[in-house]
A and B are shown apart, each in its own frame.
Chain A
């Protein structure tokens, strides 16, 4: 089995599995964030549950961090290996004749997403870890004790137009990454083409709807704060 995961195809499976896991996480993240548009209370309740339930915090969160790190590190390793597989480059290469821009530039859309994740961690994840595990405040309440803090923190972050702009740009890159990544994950997993055609249509919809949804949430809070 260890030989399998060090083979080129084994790595494809591992990349695909981590991608499928991350896409599922993204869907769940979106489902909670969209609540903030319709009901601050529901968003607060859901955020508090996700932020304090032991199985999410101590089981799913480490798996997620591992999944993100694995996907990025293996993505870079494969990119380096792939570049080394062609020592002399072509003087003229017409890549657009046979493949999409998205499929040829996954490393760049991935790097843009990585840059966004650093910003996102500084914005939300690190303050959350600080509040809960360093200051030891697991209550999830505002400083005055009147209600949960999550909705306030979310809307506060989207006041700055530069941050909103950075988020929008990052989600455009996420959409481009998913345009190829969704169907690619299923192809790597060995899903046959009959089922893949329907999956491709679903993948395109996912790659547009989810990032667009995140963009609309950021804009909604920016203009309604």
Chain B
């Protein structure tokens, strides 16, 4: 198929960017979206132009590196997939595809489609972990019984890959689905209880500090999340914060 691409080009974080049109030809419907971007970049390099910078790593939907806002949706029009898992069969010959970086004040553009998502790392550092000594005295995993329901819910929350699609798609650039998932994965397990109070308070405080917006429950994040993280995690985070406030 032949396509017209409207891509956000920005030299660096200090330079103003703009949308630039490109044409790509003979794109196979079996290609992934990133492979199509590779074809474009090869074309640009061959003609002596600067290739389009974009984040990617595993290309199998696990690492959370690829981003891109494609035709007005985070990770494009398909559901439950990252950009690297998006196939060109989702588009038609002759289509015009708009490709932009994830946009949020807390995700500044570094170059073209690459954004700085280190705000997520700082939120994780504020409490998204448990403090345990793993140097040889690891407890048997089955020593602490956990109900199937709680284990499943915690695992579902833990599937968040921190890609930032929730922030990108939220009309308020809110990070509450990400933080909700990170709080939930520990809140449901006994190992997470010891630091539960500080965890939720510190992670929410860091989230606010980073300049993310406020959740208004549109539910867009849940729909666009490549891992299907549920809004229930935000409700749980809200309960956890209220509990932590009363405890302290």
Q: A and B bound?
A: yes
Q: Which residues of chain A have C-beta atoms less than 8 A from B239's C-beta?
A: 190
Dominant secondary structure at the A interface: helix
Nearest CB in chain A to that of B234: its residue: A187
Asked if A99 is at the interface (CB within 8 A of a chain B CB), the reply is yes
B58 → chain A, closest Cβ, in Å? 25
Interface residue tally of chain A, by bracket? 35 or more
Q: What are the interface flags for B207-243 relative to A under an 8 Å C-beta threshold, 1 for contact and 0 otherwise?
A: 1100111111111100110000011101111110110
Report the tally of A-B residue pairs with Cβ distances under 8 A.
133
Q: Encode B25-44 as 1/0 by CB contact (under 8 A) with A.
A: 00000000000000000000
- Tell which of B171, B217, B232, B241 touches A9, judged by Cβ atoms closer than 8 Å: B241
Contact stretch, chosen from A26-34, A51-59, A100-108: A100-108
Name the segment of B67-75, B83-91, B154-162 touching the other chain. B67-75
Query: Which listed residue (A8, A189, A196) contacts B207, Cβ 8 A?
Result: A8
A7 to chain B, nearest CB (A): 6
Instruction: State which residues 98-123 of B face A: CB under 8 Å.
Output: 98, 100, 103-106, 109
Chain B min CB distance to A133 (Å) = 38
Stretch from A77-85, A121-129, A151-159 forming part of the interface with B? A77-85
Q: Which residues of A have CB within 8 Å of B211?
A: 85
Rounded to whole angstroms, the CA-CA distance of A82 and B175 in the bound complex is 12
- Alpha-carbon separation in the docked complex, A84 to B176 (Å): 17
Given A78-B214, A187-B235, do A13 and B19 touch, yes or no (CB 8 Å)? no
Q: Which of B98, B215, B220 contacts A12 (CB 8 A)?
A: B215
Across the interface, name the chain B residue whose C-beta is closest to A1. Answer: B245
Q: How far, in Å, is A127 (CB) from chain B's closest CB?
A: 36
Contact A103 B218 (CB under 8 A): yes
B54 CB to nearest chain A CB (Å): 16
In the complex, the answer to whether B232 meets A192 with C-beta atoms within 8 Å is yes
- Which A residues are CB-close (under 8 A) to B103? 86, 88-90
- Which of A4, A95, A190, A196 has the most B CB atoms < 10 Å from its CB? A190
Known: A8-B207, A187-B231. 10 other contacts (CB 8 A): A9-B204, A9-B241, A10-B241, A13-B238, A88-B103, A92-B98, A98-B73, A104-B218, A183-B217, A184-B216
Can you sample 25 A-B contacts with CB below 8 Å?
A: A4-B242, A7-B241, A8-B207, A8-B214, A12-B214, A13-B242, A82-B213, A84-B105, A86-B103, A86-B104, A88-B109, A90-B100, A91-B19, A91-B100, A92-B100, A94-B72, A95-B72, A97-B77, A97-B223, A98-B73, A98-B220, A184-B216, A187-B231, A188-B217, A190-B239
